[in-house]
Each structure stands twice: as C-alpha cells, then as structure tokens.
Structure 1
Amino acid sequence: MAGDLLDAHLTLLAEALLPYRDCETLLARWGTELARTLTGGGRLLVAGNGGSAAEAQHLTAELVGKLRDDRRPLSAIALHAETSAVTAIGNDYGYDEVFARQVRAHGRVGDILLLMSTSGTSANLLRAVDAAREVGLRCWAFTGPAPNPLAEACHEALPIASADGQVVQELHLVSTHVLCEYVERELPAAAARRVPTEPAPAGTTTSAGPVRAGVEVLLDGDGRQVEAGQGGTA
C-alpha cells in the first residue's frame, strides 16, 4: 500500500526523537569545548565508514566552510577523505589501521577525535581511539544504541536509541548541525578568552605569533594593535 514505507520510517524516527531531545546538553557542552579548542589552535579529526564517512565529511565541511554566518575557517580533517593515504595504509598495514595511523600523523595533544558509527563495533574506529589516547586527544563518538564498544572506548559518546541504522544516521546528521550551531554561537566568547585583559609588564615579550624583523607594532592598553610602522631610529 502506498505510503506504508514512509509512515513506518517516520514512526521509527519519531520514537527515536523522544529520548534524543535529552542530548542537547551534551551537544552544547561539546560545542563550547570544540570552539575553544579550534580558536586555540587545535583541530578536529573526524572519521567513519560508509554513510558515516559521508556524514563525517559533512561535519568538516561545515567547520572549514561555514554553517550560517561568515567567519574564519576552523581546522577540521575527515580522515577517510584522503584516498591515497587510506589506500596506501590499508594496503601496507591493513584496513584496521587506516584511521589510527593518520591520527598519529595529524593529532596533537589537546585535539579532538570524533568518530561516527551506527554499530559502534568497527575495528578501524576502535584502533583510532587507541591511537588518539596514546597521542593525547579527547575522543568523542556518535553511535547507535549503547552500550557498544566504541561508546565505551571514547571519553564521551552520543548514542542514538534506535535499532534502525537509517534513523541513527539521520539523527547523527541532526547532531552535526546542532553541534556546529553551538560552535558558531560560542566562537566570540572563545576568541575573547584568548585576548589579554591587561598589557604585558614593561620589558616582557610574548610569543603570540611569528615576528617580522624591522616592523614596530604599537599596542593599546588592551593589547590590541593600533599602529604599525617601520622600526629603527631616525
């Protein structure tokens, strides 16, 4: 009968939406933490398999590009998108290592690894968590119903309470958009945390960025640049 499939799918989606509403507190906190990490020079590494790979790449596109308003790009890498690296690592070390080796290559202490999986059992994602913990990354996961190995291996996880893989992936996409909304909302406050509230004491220097020889930079009382001119004496 026409309409049966759509109605059945929407029924499953509606059932999963009821407990999903409780995830907003976690997404808000992750958005704040991610905004602070990215404005502080850290990066987000993301990975998944199959449809979850597509959703992981969707997330990085929203951060490197933009979700709504124009802003500076944020560092986010979808590990599965580097096809030459994935196939080389898979060929030489096995498919279970395709993400773990990239985590060791790109990850730095304080970065965040976000993994997406409907089952929470993918061996290559579990290996990626092991590598991330060795390097010093924080590990998050979007998964299907908990408990599952990936949710338990990560520091925190957002499990979707549905046995239907399509519903899980659809709510992972919602989670991606809501997470990015919270990141963009938090960016001004996260950036403000990095601006010194008082000028440095006389005779001290900071290493906030590269130094250009022969250029004099003047700062106001809040530590912001107000004038730049050629250095040297007259």
Structure 2
Amino acid sequence: MKNLIQQSVNDSITVKKEFFSDNIENIESCASIMAAALKKGRKILLFGNGGSAADCQHIAAEFVNRFRMERKPLAAIALTTDTSVITSISNDYSYEDIFSKQIQALGKKGDIALGISTSGNSPNIIKAVRQAKQMEILSVGFSGNNGKLKQLTDICFCVDCDTTARIQEVHILLAHILCDLTERIMFNE
C-alpha cells in the first residue's frame, strides 16, 4: 500500500510540474482576462459534470466569497447547482442542453464561460461552449489531453495525461492559481 500511495503522489507531482511549466504564460494571461472582465461588472459562468461539477461550485465560492484576501465579492455562478433548472431542462429538452440554456438565460457579452471536461468531449459542455461563442462570451476550457474542447474554446488548459484523477488534481490547482492571481490583479496586492 505504501508503494501505491507514493506512486500516486509522484504521478500527481510529475503531471502538475509538466502542466504548469508548459502553461505559465497562458495562466497569467487568463487571470488578467478574468480580472478585466470582473472589473467591468461581468461574471464567470462555470459548468462541468460529476467531480468537475463539484469543482465548479468550489471555484465559484472562491470568487464570490474570497480566496486569500479580504475583498468585495466577485461575480461567479456555478451552473451545476440549481437542481430544478437542471432537471426541468433535462426532462423537457435533453441533458445536453442543461448548461447552454443557462448560458442563454444568464450570460452576457463580455462574461466568461468556464467549462470543465476531463475527456474534452462532454456533449453538454461542448454545446454550452458553442452557445457562449454565439453570444460573444469568452470561453475557457479545462480538459485532458484529447477532445473537442481544445479546438472550441478561446483559452484551453489541456492536461497531458490519461488518468482522470491526475487531470482533476491539476484542474483544481489551476483554478486556485487563477483565483489567487485574479484577486491580486484586481486588488493590487
């Protein structure tokens, strides 16, 4: 068991080191874009399935409440949380529409749509990103190393790994870094 534990830790560290080394400038740029949008009164709309849905809630909470510093709340909404909306859309239309219809209802030009899909191929994520593009909403994707999300989003962070757990571990660290940088940019720390 100890060897399995150490292997998981080593694998996670290796994947993170490679990802952040390859994406450091893109991360800095994305944080600047997020800060600029939030300064203009825009919002971040987050969406994903399963563990990625939980990450969306987590990230939205970091923006709305605070991450590291005491500051005013920042506008972020996890589109994964309203069960009445999600189930009614799924029932009346399809599961593929649960995020795209919410983007239609809540999104405005200048907002940021952040979709998370470890496969990069989740149909409801893809449809939501396409909807965001039609509305001139900047799209950011968090994915694994494959999938359509890479080609569809304005900014895509692709983790070069085939293990879902390692991809998700990078995604949450990436989200924390983006929150931290956005706060620092906006509130001059």
- The interval holding the TM-score normalised by the smaller chain is over 0.9
Alignment of 1:1-234 (within 5 A): 2-22=1-21, 23-146=23-146, 148-188=147-187
Q: 1:27, 1:182 within 8 Å by CA — same for their partners in 2?
A: no
Q: 2:30, 2:155 within 8 Å by CA — same for their partners in 1?
A: no
Q: 1:79, 1:102 within 8 Å by CA — same for their partners in 2?
A: yes
- In the alignment, the residues of structure 2 paired with residue 138 and residue 89 of structure 1 have an alpha-carbon distance, to the nearest angstrom, of 24
**Structure 1: any 5+ residue segments left out of the alignment?**
190-234
The residue type paired with residue 7 of structure 2 is A
Q: Displacement, 1:11?
A: 2.8
Q: 1:60, 1:76 within 8 Å by CA — same for their partners in 2?
A: yes
Q: Displacement, 1:66?
A: 0.2
The residue type paired with residue 66 of structure 1 is R
- In the alignment, the residues of structure 1 paired with residue 36 and residue 141 of structure 2 have an alpha-carbon distance, to the nearest angstrom, of 19
The residue type paired with residue 3 of structure 1 is K
- In the alignment, the residues of structure 1 paired with residue 150 and residue 81 of structure 2 have an alpha-carbon distance, to the nearest angstrom, of 23
Q: 2:48, 2:115 within 8 Å by CA — same for their partners in 1?
A: yes
Q: Displacement, 1:18?
A: 3.1
- In the alignment, the residues of structure 1 paired with residue 124 and residue 153 of structure 2 have an alpha-carbon distance, to the nearest angstrom, of 14
Q: Displacement, 1:185?
A: 0.8
The residue type paired with residue 32 of structure 2 is T
Please report the RMSD computed on the Cα atoms of aligned residues, expressed in angstroms.
1.1
The residue type paired with residue 134 of structure 2 is E
Percent of aligned positions with the same letter in both sequences?
A: 33
Question: Which of 1 and 2 has greater Rg?
Answer: 1
**Structure 2: any 5+ residue segments left out of the alignment?**
none
- In the alignment, the residues of structure 1 paired with residue 46 and residue 124 of structure 2 have an alpha-carbon distance, to the nearest angstrom, of 13
- C-alpha deviations, 1:19-42, integer Å up to 9, x for none? 212222211111111111011111
Give TM-score scaled by structure 1 length.
0.77
- In the alignment, the residues of structure 1 paired with residue 16 and residue 153 of structure 2 have an alpha-carbon distance, to the nearest angstrom, of 23
Number of corresponding residues? 187
The residue type paired with residue 184 of structure 1 is E
- C-alpha deviations, 1:192-223, integer Å up to 9, x for none? xxxxxxxxxxxxxxxxxxxxxxxxxxxxxxxx
Which has the higher relative contact order, 1 or 2, with Cα contacts under 8 A spaced 6 or more apart? 2
- In the alignment, the residues of structure 2 paired with residue 162 and residue 53 of structure 1 have an alpha-carbon distance, to the nearest angstrom, of 20
Q: 1:52, 1:117 within 8 Å by CA — same for their partners in 2?
A: yes
Give TM-score scaled by structure 2 length.
0.95
Decide which moves more: 89-98 or 16-25: 16-25
More helix by share: 2
